[in-house]
C-alpha cells in the first residue's frame, strides 16, 4: 500500500490534535509539529510531504519554498492572510481554507455581540451581581433588533449565516461583497445590495465578515466611521486589521458611533493598556468566534476529503483567492 505523507503544523493541544486526526485516512503517514518545532525540523519534514495541514502554526516563507512534492496546503481555519499565497502560486500549490466549517460558530458570535451591546448585557450582569438592581438600564439605552438595518460587509458563507440569524429577529439585511448575488438569489434570501458608502451610512449595525486583503485593510477607518449614524454599532469577527483601531477608539470616544462588539484586534493578544478595554460601550472577546467543539469534525472531514479529491486527480474545494494579485 502506498502511503501519503501529511505534515500537520499546529498550535492545538494534544486532545484536539487527536480529534482532528481521528478523521484522517488510515493510509496516511502523519507527522505532527507543534510550535516548539525548529524551523530546520519543519523544513526537513515538509520537503517530501504530500500534504501540509495548518492550524495556529503559520508556515514561514522558507518552509513554503521547501515544499518539493506537496499537492495541497489545507487550512483548518477560514482566514488565510498569514500565509504567503504568492509563493504557493509560484509553486503551483493550491491553498484551501476550511470551506465554511466554522461559519455557524462565527455567525453565532456576531449575533451574540450585537445582542450583548443592544441589551447592556455585561453592565446588567455586573450590577445584578453587585446588588445594584437594574442600575445600568435607563429605558433609553437598550434596543431591539426588529426593524433595524443590519449591514454585512463581506457576504461569504459567514455573512450569509449572519443574515439568516438576524432575519429571525425581524431585522432588515443589506450587504456589500465584491461578488454581488444575482437578483433572484437576493430576492430569495431577502437581502439588498448596497455600495460600501451606503452600507456605512444607513446601517444601524455594521458587521464585518470580509477576508483581510490590501483592499480591505482599514476599510473601517476615520472616513467610513464618520459616515455612520451616531446610534450605530460596529461588530468585527473577521480580522483585526480590517478596522483601523485608533480611528475606532476616537470614534467611540467622540460619540461618532455608539458602540462596538469586537472579537478580533490589530494586535493579539490584546494589550492590557488598550483603551478599548476601559470603554463601557465596547464588548470584547478573545478571537474565539470560530472555536467550538462542534466545528472540529467539520473542519477535519472537509480537509481530509479535499486531500482525497486531489489524490484522485480532482480539483480541491474552497481554494482561496489572492485578491492582492495584480
pLDDT confidence tier of residue 79, bands split at 50, 70 and 90: very high
Joined grid coordinates for residue 15: 486532545
Q: How far apart are CA 108 and CA 264, in angstroms?
A: 15
Residue 323: predicted pLDDT: 64
What's the average model confidence in pLDDT over 6-18?
98
What's the average model confidence in pLDDT over 125-130?
97
| Whole-number average pLDDT of the chain | 97
Residue 321: predicted pLDDT: 86
What's the average model confidence in pLDDT over 123-131?
97
Q: Which residues are known to be catalytic? A: 239, 268, 287
Residue 325: predicted pLDDT: 53
Task: Give the SS3 label for residue 303.
Answer: helix
- Please state, for a pLDDT cut of 90, what percent of the chain lies above it: 97
Q: How far apart are CA 200 and CA 176, in angstroms?
A: 10
Cβ contact 115:91 at 8 Å: no
Q: Is the pLDDT of residue 1 over 70?
A: no
Q: Is the pLDDT of residue 137 over 50?
A: yes
Q: How far apart are CA 25 and CA 10, in angstroms?
A: 18
Burial of 131 (0-12, 13-18, 19+ CB in 10 A): exposed
Whole-model pTM?
0.94
Phi then psi for residue 53, to 5 deg, are -110, 130
pLDDT confidence tier of residue 322, bands split at 50, 70 and 90: confident
Of the CA atoms within 13 Å of residue 86, those in its CB half-sphere come to 7
Per-residue pLDDT reduced to its tens digit, 28-78: 999 999 999 999 999 999 999 999 999 999 999 999 999 999 999 999 999
Q: How far apart are CA 305 and CA 310, in angstroms?
A: 9
Residue 324: predicted pLDDT: 64
Amino acid at each position: 500500500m502506498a502511503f501519503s505523507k501529511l505534515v500537520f503544523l499546529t498550535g492545538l493541544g494534544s486532545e484536539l490534535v487527536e480529534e482532528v486526526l481521528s478523521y484522517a485516512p488510515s493510509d496516511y503517514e502523519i507527522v505532527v509539529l507543534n510550535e516548539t518545532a525548529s524551523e530546520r525540523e519543519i523544513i526537513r519534514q515538509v520537503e517530501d510531504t504530500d500534504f501540509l495541514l495548518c492550524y495556529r502554526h503559520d508556515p514561514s516563507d522558507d518552509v513554503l519554498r521547501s515544499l518539493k512534492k506537496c499537492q495541497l496546503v489545507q487550512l483548518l481555519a477560514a482566514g488565510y492572510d498569514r500565509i504567503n499565497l504568492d509563493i504557493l502560486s509560484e509553486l503551483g500549490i493550491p491553498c484551501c481554507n476550511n470551506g465554511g466549517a466554522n461559519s455557524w460558530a462565527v455567525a453565532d458570535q456576531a449575533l451574540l455581540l450585537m445582542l450583548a451591546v443592544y441589551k447592556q448585557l455585561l453592565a446588567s450582569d455586573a450590577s445584578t451581581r453587585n446588588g445594584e438592581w437594574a442600575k445600568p438600564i435607563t429605558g433609553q439605552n437598550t434596543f431591539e433588533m426588529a426593524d433595524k438595518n443590519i449591514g454585512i460587509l463581506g457576504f461569504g458563507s459567514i455573512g450569509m449565516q449572519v443574515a439568516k440569524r438576524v432575519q429571525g429577529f425581524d431585522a432588515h439585511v443589506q450587504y456589500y461583497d465584491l461578488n454581488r448575488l444575482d437578483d433572484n438569489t437576493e430576492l430569495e434570501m431577502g437581502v439588498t445590495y448596497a455600495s460600501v458608502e451606503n452600507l456605512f451610512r444607513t446601517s444601524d449595525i455594521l458587521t464585518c465578515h470580509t477576508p483581510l486583503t490590501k483592499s480591505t485593510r482599514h476599510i473601517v477607518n476615520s472616513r467610513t466611521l464618520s459616515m455612520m449614524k451616531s446610534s450605530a454599532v460596529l461588530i468585527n469577527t473577521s480580522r483585526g486589521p480590517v478596522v483601523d483601531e485608533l480611528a475606532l477608539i476616537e470614534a467611540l470616544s467622540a460619540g461618532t458611533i455608539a458602540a462596538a462588539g469586537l472579537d478580533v484586534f490589530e494586535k493579539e493578544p490584546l494589550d492590557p493598556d488598550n483603551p478599548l478595554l476601559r470603554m463601557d460601550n465596547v464588548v470584547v472577546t478573545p478571537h474565539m468566534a470560530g472555536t467550538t467543539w462542534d466545528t472540529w469534525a467539520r473542519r477535519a472531514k472537509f480537509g481530509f476529503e479535499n486531500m482525497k479529491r486531489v489524490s484522485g486527480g480532482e480539483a480541491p474545494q474552497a481554494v482561496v483567492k489572492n485578491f492582492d494579485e495584480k
